[in-house]
Amino acid sequence: VFANPLRPAILAAARSATLKTAITKAPVTRSIVSRFIAGDTRAQALAVARAILDSGRMISIDYLGEDTTDAAQAQATVAEYLALLADLAEMPEAKAPGQVRRLEVSVKLSALGLALPVDGPAIARENARTLCAAAERAGVWITVDAEDHTTTDATLSLVRDLRADHPWLGAVLQSYLRRAEADCRDLAGPGSRIRLCKGAYREPDSVAFQPKSEVDASYLRCLRVLMEGRGYPMVATHDPAIIAEAGSMAADSGRGRGDLEHQMLYGIRDGEQLRLAGRGAQMRVYLPYGSQWYGYFMRRLAERPANLGFFLRSFLTR
């Protein structure tokens, strides 16, 4: 994650309104964005989802949007998720038997209103509750994404509350956070679904490990806690060393193929995704769509110097 020396600058740019306008308006950006994003519309996302499901993988669809500061936009996000859940309910996978749901949606609480100046947490909670009820009717799971560290407490407490009524609700933990291992211990209980990732935001040293080696070591410590726990670990990484280690940990803790899943982002290591699914592993693809792709796209550029180089070269060689 942190092997890229330009990462802090790119993540700062991810918050710049001026750059956002310049980059989103540049015609060349589109073709590169489409590597990571299924399309602007729900119909495009569902078509891509169909193909992924048919290839033996599972999906988690994300309607892009974050840092909403107006209540109407949060309501529009809820409406889009409800329409998405209604469409997913029509897929045969929604009715398939088994403990593991093949269809999932991912949501960011900041898109549901968490940061609204008045009553943000209460509004996000009610919106999330509405989505959980609809997901349950649809036969679809929900996992709540992890955003920057200032939202971690609010996010985990909201997930904990909603799990009283919707025990299948998942949460994401980020191994770059110094608190991650303790959070894993708290959340490794029966029925808990935890997606473990490294973390994609720019965080200060006071709360987050900075060197890649420390983030990776923390990931392995966290993963061991989850594997030895009683929940359902979701191993969200493209890192080959960690994926191999996850296999040995699962064997050590007596977990079968159905007791954990691998997850990767749409457009990243597609061949490896297919290889894992082909070997019988449960593999879920995180599939984002929508017009608010700027923040998500910039985090993908920041992760990998090669992505940034490719992006910049395409500007220069037009």
> DSSP secondary structure string, 164-198?
TT-TT-EEEEETTBTTHHHHHHHT-STT-EEEEE-
Q: How far is the CB of 118 from ligand FDA (least distance, A)?
A: 26
105-to-169, 171, 210, 248, 304 alpha-carbon distances in Å: 11, 12, 30, 29, 26
**What is the residue type of 235?**
V
Measured from each CB, the residue nearest to ligand FDA is 238
287 binds ligand FDA (CB under 6 A): no
- Of 131, 114, 132, give the one whose Cα is nearest residue 123: 114
Q: How far is the CB of 65 from ligand FDA (least distance, A)?
A: 14
140 binds ligand FDA (CB under 6 A): no
**Between the CA atoms of 149, 164, 285 and 184, what dihedral angle is there, to the nearest 10 degrees?**
50
Q: Catalytic site residues?
A: 145, 195
Compute how many other C-beta atoms are within 10 angstroms of the C-beta atom of residue 270: 14
Q: How far is the CB of 5 from ligand FDA (least distance, A)?
A: 14
Decide whether 117 or 187 has the Cβ nearer to ligand FDA.
187
Decide whether 11 or 132 has the Cβ nearer to ligand FDA.
11
Decide whether 236 or 246 has the Cβ nearer to ligand FDA.
236
- Of 14, 126, 153, 18, give the one whose Cα is nearest residue 71: 126
Mask 247-286, x = binds ligand FDA (CB under 6 A)?
A: ----------------xxx--xx----------------x
Decide whether 3 or 86 has the Cβ nearer to ligand FDA.
3
d(CA 91, CA 47): 12
Cβ(108)–Cβ(67) below 8 Å: no
Q: How far is the CB of 112 from ligand FDA (least distance, A)?
A: 14
d(CA 99, CA 190): 14
Which of positions 28-87 make contact with ligand FDA (CB under 6 A)? none
Q: How far is the CB of 108 from ligand FDA (least distance, A)?
A: 8
Q: Which of 59, 68, 110, 145 binds ligand FDA (CB under 6 A)?
A: 145
- CB-based contacts of 6: which residues, under 8 Å, 6+ apart? 302, 305, 308
- Total number of residues binding ligand FDA (CB under 6 A)? 25
Q: Which of 238, 245, 255, 305 binds ligand FDA (CB under 6 A)?
A: 238
Which of positions 167-206 make contact with ligand FDA (CB under 6 A)? 172, 174, 195, 197-201
165-to-11, 90, 128, 132, 218 alpha-carbon distances in Å: 36, 24, 12, 9, 31
d(CA 160, CA 171): 9
Residue that is written with structure tokens 């990462």 in the block: 7
**Which one of 13-21, 113-121, 155-163, 302-310 is the stretch in contact with ligand FDA (CB under 6 A)?**
302-310
Decide whether 134 or 172 has the Cβ nearer to ligand FDA.
172
Decide whether 86 or 300 has the Cβ nearer to ligand FDA.
300
4 binds ligand FDA (CB under 6 A): no
Positions that interact with ligand FDA (CB under 6 A): 1, 145-146, 172, 174, 195, 197-201, 236-239, 263-265, 268-269, 286, 300, 303-304, 307
